[in-house]
A and B are shown apart, each in its own frame.
Chain A
Amino acid sequence: MIPDQLKTALAEHIAASITPREAAVTVMKELQAHYGWLTDEAVAEAAQLLGISPLQVEELATFYEMIYRRPVGKRVVHVCDSISCWAMGGESLLGQLAARLGIPVGGTDPEGMFTLLPCCCLGNCGDAPTMMVGDNLYGRLTLETALGVLEQERESAKM
């Protein structure tokens, strides 16, 4: 269940939209921010708020890569696999990070700290290879600096 405050805020947002559906992605994202991922409960809640069926929410949720219908770690790590990063060793960075975290690309580590995802593109092409953890962007990475970043993020997630 989402707190009443969030529910009211979302209802207001929907009311201010041109059609309720216009608010669908925002509502899903807010619910996701609350639960950590878009749970089945969240799908039902979104459907109710938007006045559409859960299936219609599902249909939207599965279209967008940034809506997670499975649990993700506390920090989602997006490693850029776009052309500029790829030309600068992004692919091998992604592979090595997966090996170090002991998870496949797309997986989440057993502690539930990191989910590793490829992403195309982060628009930081001048500073390739790049990754984004949460809203923080890191450029010109090597395996060492990337692992350092993950350590930092791990610490900050604990706080």
Chain B
Amino acid sequence: MNDGIVVNVCMGTGGIAAGGDMVMQEFIKEFETAGVKNATVKEKCRLHKVGCRGFCARDVLVDITVDGQVSTYQYIQPEMVKRLVQEHVLGAKPITEWLVGDDYHVFHDNQTKRVLADLGKIDPESIEEYLGVDGYKAAEKTLTTMKPEEVIQVVKDSGLRGRGGGGFPTGVKWSFCAANKADQRYIICNADEGDPGAFMDRSVVEGNPHAVIEGMIIGAYAIGASVGYVYIRAEYPLAVDRLRLALKHAEERGFLGKKLFGTDFSLKIKVKLGAGAFVCGEETALIASIEGERGMPRAKPPFPANKGLWGKPTIINNVETFANIPQIMNKGAAWYASIGSEKSKGTKVIALTGKIKNTGLIEIPMGMPLKDIIFKVGGGIEGNKLFKAVQTGGPSGGCIPQQFIDLPVDYEGLASVGSMMGSGGMVVLDETDCMVNISKFFLQFTQSESCGKCVPCRIGTKRLLEILTRITEGEGKEGDIELLQQLAEDVRDSSLCGLGMSAPNPVISTIKYFRHEYEAHIKHKKCPAKVCNKLLTFFIREDMCVGCGMCAKACSVNAISGEKKQPHKINNSMCIQCGSCFDACKFSAVLKE
């Protein structure tokens, strides 16, 4: 498409939340108006909604391509569209002050996009556009020219490992499943993405659903499954809609259903919605949930590959795992394995969030040093604060401190410092984050998400949380650190499923690398990062206070007094350190020490 004008509007969840829908409507309106005056515009212009291209912090992102020349705009709001159409689309003059800066290019240039390659380029609601980028070619080739064993061999050779957290070699898992004698097998795509801080699976399903479906077709053929499920979170309505639409389109084209591509192979894929339970992301719990039981995990073995859904051999893979498959089949195992590290091949999609300049979705070759991710792709720490740690792997992972900044990010690298890849969430923490509090945060999560089936997880996480809460509230005792460590190991070693086995990781890793922060809380009753309110004293700076009274209104114990328009005061003997006044003050006049 070298002639004409193409306008791409980012319409992922992030894009829409930032106003992408309204921006799109404005473009349609402006084009209508312009089209009346200038017929050629209407003929040559294509307005295009695309999935997330990762740089969510700059939404709404809009690409305007005129005669092959792409310009990308950031922070576009509906009221800016008129000028864009007038000056750039009609006048062929880009509006330089709204264009993305160098950092946008640095963000993209340091990535290697495979799974995300077509996100932000194709319209996820159009199967034609997916076909336009060689979509369903891999499925056709696989089904019509390859034997199932050959497919499995290619996937084995590629070195692809499961992207859902465990990192188990995908081809090997498929071969286990295929080896079972069975009248029925199932294939399941795990789109439950429950890890807090992770949104890669959502973006992939929203931005390129057909790639996931195609991966499932190839997987189903390889293991001989005739029924597939996509288990997806109900919290992701847009992803659910796009997935359903894509499945419908694929059925209409005969890519799903009976006798695919003229072979005897048939596949039906159904969508199952979750109902808000994190543990359902665990494969045996997920299977129980599809079967209509309480979504609780069971002991393994038997593994689902041997005994899964309704007792039949079942393959469960993650969204990103499946999205890699079509490319592996198209370009070959050697191509796939050409990047990455020794034991982790290919790329990994990472959700980069927290105190970092460029938050968003990125894709990097496995083994990229942590510092390149944070300081090159991520652009460094927000507000020029000091980098403290990066939390990876969500509630099952750990915190990696400054000293490991050169660490290669792959399965082994992260595990070697007591963290893990998990689903690929990375939360960057700076000097204003309290590590004890972070660890408490994750325990709160795992404790409330523990399904309660096994005792170590149900009671262990609760006790861990109680101790951490005590420490952050200034009630820490000598010996608490050792108690935490002991309990953490017990929970890790004796829980039934991955949730309990990994729940103590945040505690273990923060004690290992930030023991001094625990000690400051326990021995000196101080929170060095000034986060734990109960260990702080609140006061009001007279020179900053305008006397608006918001703090006094917010205070639930009437500890704040003062005349209107006069500086207010906090009575520290009454203050319960809830922090409401701090949050309520718009003038940064409330301080905590």
A40 to B338 alpha-carbon distance, docked (Å): 59
**What chain A residues lie within 8 Å of B14 (beta carbons)?**
124, 126-127, 139
Q: Is there contact, CB below 8 Å, between B353 and A128?
A: yes
Task: Give the residue among B13, B196, B433 with the most A Cβ atoms within 10 A.
Answer: B196
- A22-B290, A123-B236, A137-B16 known; A83 and B441 CB under 8 Å? yes
Determine which residue in A50, A63, A65, A126 has the highest number of CB atoms from chain B within 10 A of its CB, and name it.
A126
Contact A126 B292 (CB under 8 A): no
Residues of A within 8 A of B234 (CB): 66
Q: Is A150 an interface residue (CB 8 A)?
A: no
Query: A59 is contacted by which of B278, B294, B351 (Cβ under 8 Å)?
Result: B294
Interface residues of A in 28-72 (CB under 8 A from B): 28-29, 50, 59-60, 63-67
Place the interface of chain A in its size category: 35 or more
A99 near B554: Cβ-Cβ < 8 Å: yes
Shortest Cβ gap from B125 to chain A (Å): 17
**What residues on A are CB-neighbors of B361 within 8 Å?**
126
Contact, CB under 8 Å: B17 / A127: yes
Is B237 at the interface (CB under 8 A from chain A)? yes
* Contact code string B409-447 (vs A, CB < 8 Å = 1, else 0): 000000000000000010101000100000001100100
Chain A residues whose CB sits within 8 angstroms of the CB of B291 once the complex forms: 19, 21-22
Best-surrounded residue of A22, A138, A140 (most CB of chain B within 10 A)? A22
Give the docked Cα–Cα distance between A84 and B310 (Å): 37
A125 to B194, CA, bound (A): 12
Check A82/B197 contact, CB under 8 A, given A19-B291, A60-B294, A138-B17: yes
Q: Could you say which residues of chain B place their CB within 8 Å of the CB of A65?
A: 275-277
**Bound CA–CA A124/B197 (angstroms):** 8
B54 shortest CB reach to chain A, Å: 8
On whether the beta carbons of B196 and A83 are closer than 8 Å, the reply is: yes
Chain B positions within 8 Å of A22 at CB level: 290-292
State A123–B295 Cα separation when bound (angstroms): 21
Contact check, A126 vs B391: say whether CB atoms are below 8 A apart: no
User: For the complex, is B126 an interface residue (Cβ under 8 Å from A)?
Assistant: no
Nearest residue in A to B240 (C-beta to C-beta)?
A: A135
Whether B292 pairs with A139 at a CB distance below 8 angstroms is: no
* Minimum Cβ distance to chain B for residue A50 (Å): 8
Residue of A nearest to B16 (CB): A137
In the complex, which residues 281-338 of chain B have their Cβ closer than 8 Å to any Cβ of chain A?
289-296, 310
Given contacts A29-B273, A127-B59, contact A121 B196 (CB under 8 A): yes
Q: Kindly state the separation between the CA atoms of A43 and B584 in the bound complex, as whole angstroms.
A: 43
B354-A140 in contact (CB<8A): no
Cross-chain contact of B360 among A82, A126, A138 (Cβ < 8 A): A126
Supposing A25-B273, A92-B579 touch, asked if A124 and B196 sit within 8 A by C-beta, the answer is no
- Asked if residues A25 and B289 are in contact (CB atoms below 8 Å), the reply is yes
- Decide yes or no whether B199 CB sits under 8 A from chain A: yes
Q: Which residue of B lies closest to A20 (CB)?
A: B292
Contact A19 B354 (CB under 8 A): no
**Is A120 an interface position by the 8 A CB rule?**
yes
| B194 lies within 8 A of A126 (CB) | no
Q: Is the CB of B292 within 8 A of A23?
A: yes
Minimum CB distance partner of A93 in chain B = B583
Chain A residues with Cβ below 8 Å from B590 are none
Q: Is B367 an interface residue (CB 8 A)?
A: no
Find out whether the CB atom of B429 lies under 8 angstroms from the CB atom of A132: no
Q: Measured between alpha carbons, how far is A65 from B295 in the docked complex, in Å?
A: 12
A103 contacts partner chain B, Cβ-Cβ < 8 Å: no
Which B386-416 residues have C-beta < 8 A from chain A? 391, 394
Q: Given A83-B394, A87-B427, answer yes or no on A126-B351 (Cβ-Cβ < 8 Å).
A: yes
A-B pairs, top 9 by smallest CB distance, nearest first, are A126-B56, A21-B292, A82-B196, A65-B276, A64-B275, A139-B17, A66-B276, A123-B199, A24-B292
Question: 17 other contacts beyond A29-B275, A86-B441, A137-B16, with CB at 8 A cut-off?
Answer: A18-B310, A19-B291, A25-B272, A26-B273, A63-B295, A83-B353, A84-B196, A87-B433, A92-B579, A121-B195, A124-B17, A125-B198, A125-B353, A126-B56, A126-B361, A127-B59, A137-B13
Question: 24 A-B pairs, CB-CB below 8 angstroms?
Answer: A18-B310, A22-B290, A25-B273, A28-B275, A29-B273, A59-B294, A64-B295, A65-B276, A66-B234, A83-B391, A87-B354, A95-B580, A96-B584, A120-B196, A120-B445, A121-B197, A121-B198, A121-B199, A121-B235, A125-B199, A126-B56, A126-B353, A128-B353, A139-B14
